[in-house]
Amino acid sequence: MSTFDGVNPCRPGFGASCSFCCGSHNYRLSREDIEETFIKRGDGEGENSRVHPEKSLFKKLVEEGMQCCHVGFADSENGTVSCLVYHEDVSGSEMEVFFTGTCKTFLCEAWKELSDREILFAAELMQDWYYYSLLINSPDVLLELYAEYGEPGNVPEDVLENLQDELSDRIQEMI
Ligand code: SF4
Ligand code: SF4
């Protein structure tokens, strides 16, 4: 299990990051188009910071899933995905209850079920926001991979490519 003073699955290092629970993958857009949207938001072209997180702007893969309009790249240079309003004062806005009751307290299964070593393995293997998020949210796949290879450097290139394809295919079922 991860802890707040150990590895943070949302920001584990190695260039990996995650906003999956906020709906980072729930778009009927290509990865490139999603990233363009994230860059624009990070550059200040996003929604007003007090817009409710359940408001979405694009067609979703899964209608009942999140697609929060505050997910973006805080720094487009390193492509780290994050909540762009996490440190804002939203008191008095329509999002206050959801923000304080859910956004500030939610921990996914990766926090509860994965060890620091397993999270770091996923982070070093993928080093991005897209596949890393999918891998830690597919614990069956991650644990099998970790058991077989132990270190990211031991994963053959063709295995990695097949894994990335498999994770992309899983998005429809996961969100
Ligand atoms: S899905 Fe888990 S690791 Fe990813 S942003 Fe949400 S809480 Fe963090
Ligand atoms: S406001 Fe931030 S933490 Fe809440 S759903 Fe949106 S991106 Fe996630």
Q: pLDDT of 77-104, one tens digit each? A: 689 999 999 999 999 999 999 999 999 9
Q: What percent of the chain has pLDDT over 70?
A: 94
pLDDT of residue 47: 80
In a domain, 11, yes or no: no
In a domain, 147, yes or no: yes
pLDDT tens digits, residue range 113-130? 999 999 999 999 999 999
Residue 109 has pLDDT above 80, yes or no: yes
C-alpha of residue 58 to centroid of ligand 1, in Å: 21
Which helix (H) or strand (E) covers residue 72, if one does?
strand 71-75
C-alpha of residue 164 to centroid of ligand 2, in Å: 26
In a domain, 169, yes or no: yes
In a domain, 168, yes or no: yes
Nearest atom in ligand 2 to 70's CA: 7
What's the whole-model pTM score? 0.93
CB of 113 closer than 8 Å to CB of 70: no
Position 74 confidence tier, pLDDT thresholds 50, 70, 90: confident
Mapped onto helix, strand or coil, the DSSP state of residue 65 is coil
In a domain, 6, yes or no: no
**Domain range enclosing 95:** 20-174
Distance between CA atoms of residues 150 and 167, nearest Å: 19
**Comparing C-alpha atoms, which of 46, 99, 106, 104 is closest to residue 72?**
46
- Average of per-residue pLDDT across 8-17: 96
C-alpha of residue 91 to centroid of ligand 2, in Å: 15
Q: What percent of the chain has pLDDT over 90?
A: 84
- Six-digit token pair at 175? 């969100």
In a domain, 7, yes or no: no
The tally of domains found in the chain comes to 1
Distance between CA atoms of residues 37 and 31, nearest Å: 10
Question: Cβ(23) to ligand 1 under 6 A?
Answer: no
Ligand at minimal distance from the CA of 87 is 2
Handedness of CA 30, 158, 133, 6 (dihedral sign): negative
In a domain, 85, yes or no: yes
pLDDT of residue 50: 87
In a domain, 1, yes or no: no
